[in-house]
Copies of this chain bind each other. A is one copy, B any other.
């Protein structure tokens, strides 16, 4: 038994016997961020967004929020849901947010630090469809949901579950969250996600998390263990179920990411500067609200400004405008000393070259914008309408490459290699040099998906393109998957909670 468990745990650390991936580790970005705006321009955007909150205001579609904000000194317009904020109030509230905190996973080795120069990558979240080459594009369902969790659990570069990777639409809406969160907590031991679809779902998610981690309410409130993303209903509105999520999560010291979905030309001005003004106003209003609910609660500044295709109105992602907005949003988040969330987005219908280049444009914007959480980092397709198994593997490769890119070049007497250059001399070669032999096994990044064989060998071996290789790899990873160990008593308690809450009818419609 003990031997089996140890073998199982070794296998698990490698993500299955066949996959030679990078070990789990939290990535840090040692390089200076790319700044696409000057300090003056950042101040101009800040100033304009403060004017938006002071003069135009934002609608908070929940009486409890209006009461809280009124008490805190915001101007709630009588008879409406419009709230105007003095800039002093916003800045003072936001200044109370921590610049760095730890998110606690069921497996403490999978805890992650959010903030500073740390960066974590999360799965795709909330796609209504799922796809792979074999089964094609299909409605989201619980079976694929679980397989996507298994795949994400197996990939060390995926640090977090960034929402339900796909909607399990075959499960009843009122109790879906119970099955889905239970799956998070048994198929994976990484940090999980809770949807801000009203108070009940959040409460259920937190109870299940407490059971899985074996902790009480006091420890939960000391150790953020779950995170949620609150999208504003742009322009300048925050919906009721989202507001309940902010209140419930912030009150219990859990992580709230506020992300305006400011699609330039549709839900925000057609100019990038204008879209950033609106994003900043909406994000700061939400963040200030969370800090008013519970000063010091862990929050994250979310940026998701992209643009529409002006011919069709369709949203576009991974565009040049998107990359610039991602970098500018990082500058804004840093101005307020807040952790920053970005995404790995694309608008492509098939896992191919466009999917890759749009993702890379997003990733470079996120990484060099010093994003601390990259949501939708693995598996996102079609502007979020589909979660793809092959794309999750493709993304894992691209994320691993980013992680290795962020390992600084070592410069010291040994690595400068003068002795090796002397040994080999003009016209020689380094394959057999002592300096090479001592290092060749670990000198360079070894890919999981890229094929570097020559054309002839690759062709003889079936001429599989990258997406077909990703398909084969994801199948192999699922075949090798081993669930993280769960104590039988914990499993029983999780099941009992789910059964009881199902009997009670689950959650209200959101």
Contact = CB atoms under 8 A, between A and B. Distances in A.
Contact of A271 (B31, B417, B466): B417
Interface in A261-310: 264-278, 307-310
A322 B59 CA distance: 49
A449 B425 CA distance: 48
Interface in A401-445: 401-402, 404-405, 407-412, 414-418, 420-422, 424-431, 433, 435-436, 439-441, 443-445
A360 interface: yes
Interface string A351-366: 1111111111100100
Nearest to A422: B56
Contacts of A417: 48, 269-271, 273-275, 277-278
B361 A418 contact: no
Given A34-B32, A56-B422, A452-B314, A435 B405 contact: no
Contact of A356 (B328, B353, B404, B422): B353
A506 to B, nearest CB: 30
Contact of A265 (B276, B352, B354, B443): B443
Contacts of A277: 416-418, 421
Contacts of A268: 421, 430
B32 A443 contact: no
10 contacts: A235-B428, A265-B443, A273-B409, A273-B412, A274-B417, A307-B443, A309-B446, A352-B466, A353-B394, A353-B465
Interface of A: 31-32, 34-37, 41, 44-45, 48, 51-52, 55-59, 82, 137, 233, 235-237, 264-278, 307-316, 319-321, 323-324, 328, 347-361, 364, 368, 382, 385-386, 394, 397-398, 401-402, 404-405, 407-412, 414-418, 420-422, 424-431, 433, 435-436, 439-441, 443-446, 449-455, 458-459, 463, 465-467, 470
